[in-house]
Structure 1
Amino acid sequence: MQPFKFARLRYRPLGPADAAGLFALDSNPNVLRYLGTPPLTGIAQSRAALVRIQADYRAGTLARWAVERRDTGEFLGWAGLKLNHDPVNGRSGFIDLGYRLLEPHWGQGYGTEAGRAWLARGFGALRLPLITGYAEAAHGASRRILEKVGLALVNLFDDASGTPCAWYEARNPAAGPA
């Protein structure tokens, strides 16, 4: 896939130049509050994550992309679709819609815009039949984004660590009934 634009944002593959931005994102405990993962402690961890992401790109596997402001090119975080093989809510091999933004950019509609862009890309160019998303049940902001972009709550479940979570799904309208 080629980089693309949607309203105020631009989406492109993550690359080595994004290591500092990813480190700023994933070393912030506020960003990670509802993810159950500890903050990164060194930029080498971001570089290692980029190596894994770029391997997914080369393999043709769906992976997260950088999110930038169209007007300034400023790195805001990442968003996109990802093929998830790990079991979650009794499922594996599902397409997960995700987004993570730097804290100064919260509350400005960027998460919703990114979710809409990737849902449109997934159902349009990629012709995916089903896109899912999940968030901790207590993470109201992320749940609102999933609902605003068109995913419907399917069920509540406890993740592997026992944390209550909410599972959402959207079916491609062009795919017909399930």
Structure 2
Amino acid sequence: MKLIAETPRLILRELDFSDEKDLFEMDSDPAVHLYIENKPVESIAEITAVIKMLKRQYKENGVARWAVINKETNECIGWAGLKYYREPLNNRINFYELGYRFKTKHWGKGYASESSRAILDYAFKQLRIDVVFAITDPDNKKSKNVLTKLGFELTETFDYDGDITDWFELKKSQYRS
């Protein structure tokens, strides 16, 4: 499994089938899905399909969502990473979006900010991306706080499949690692 980044508390690496149980624990929790468009998963088979899709994205795009591993416990506590959009979204195409998702028992511990900083360093320094975008539900105050703390600016609100969604962006020139 390819190592992407390391922080004082976390390791970010490609997701693998060994992460299925941890991802199932996270994605079967209705609280995790409160502000996102998909519903909680009901089987490990659904997680297996997601991991297969992410492995294709690693090969096709060089990036995808990555496992976030707690160094102290070696537990996969969630995922974070970049998604490359080849299809249009909000009148843009061929762009990178930052995303993260964690088990509820790990919320409020700074893992979203810590892993996202490592991902942004990777995006701007290794991949030499000029701008990274992020989207979130306008009511998801915790996610909006993370994005603002990282330096993202809310630039617009748009209709995403019938849901009002906030659009954030962070330019490389404005990023402070």
Q: TM-score by structure 1 length?
A: 0.91
Asked if residue 15 in structure 1 is aligned to residue 13 in structure 2, the reply is: no
Which residue number corresponds to residue 155 of structure 1? Answer: 156
Q: What is the aligned-residue identity percentage? A: 34
Which residue number corresponds to residue 96 of structure 1? Answer: 97
Q: For residues 10 and 17 of structure 2, what CA distance do their matches in structure 1 show?
A: 20
Which residue number corresponds to residue 66 of structure 1? Answer: 67
Which residue number corresponds to residue 122 of structure 1? Answer: 123
Q: Any gaps of 5 or more consecutive residues in structure 2? A: none
Q: Which moved more, 1:20-29 or 1:51-60?
A: 51-60
Instruction: Give RMSD over aligned pairs.
Output: 1.5
Shift of 1:60: 4.1
Q: Any gaps of 5 or more consecutive residues in structure 1? A: none
Letter in 1 for 2:168: Y
Map 1:1-178; keep pairs closer than 5 Å: 2-161=3-162, 163-173=163-173
In terms of fraction of residues, the more helix-rich structure is: 2
Shift of 1:57: 1.6
Q: TM-score by structure 2 length?
A: 0.92
Contact conserved, 1:5 with 1:70, CA < 8 A, in 2?
A: no
Q: For residues 106 and 122 of structure 1, what CA distance do their matches in structure 2 show?
A: 24
Contact conserved, 1:84 with 1:92, CA < 8 A, in 2?
A: yes
Q: For residues 142 and 38 of structure 1, what CA distance do their matches in structure 2 show?
A: 18
Q: Secondary structure at the match of 1:92?
A: coil
Contact conserved, 1:68 with 1:74, CA < 8 A, in 2?
A: yes
Shift of 1:21: 1.2
Letter in 2 for 1:166: D
Shift of 1:61: 3.1
Q: For residues 60 and 36 of structure 1, what CA distance do their matches in structure 2 show?
A: 23
Q: Secondary structure at the match of 1:58?
A: helix
Contact conserved, 1:11 with 1:66, CA < 8 A, in 2?
A: yes
Letter in 1 for 2:171: R
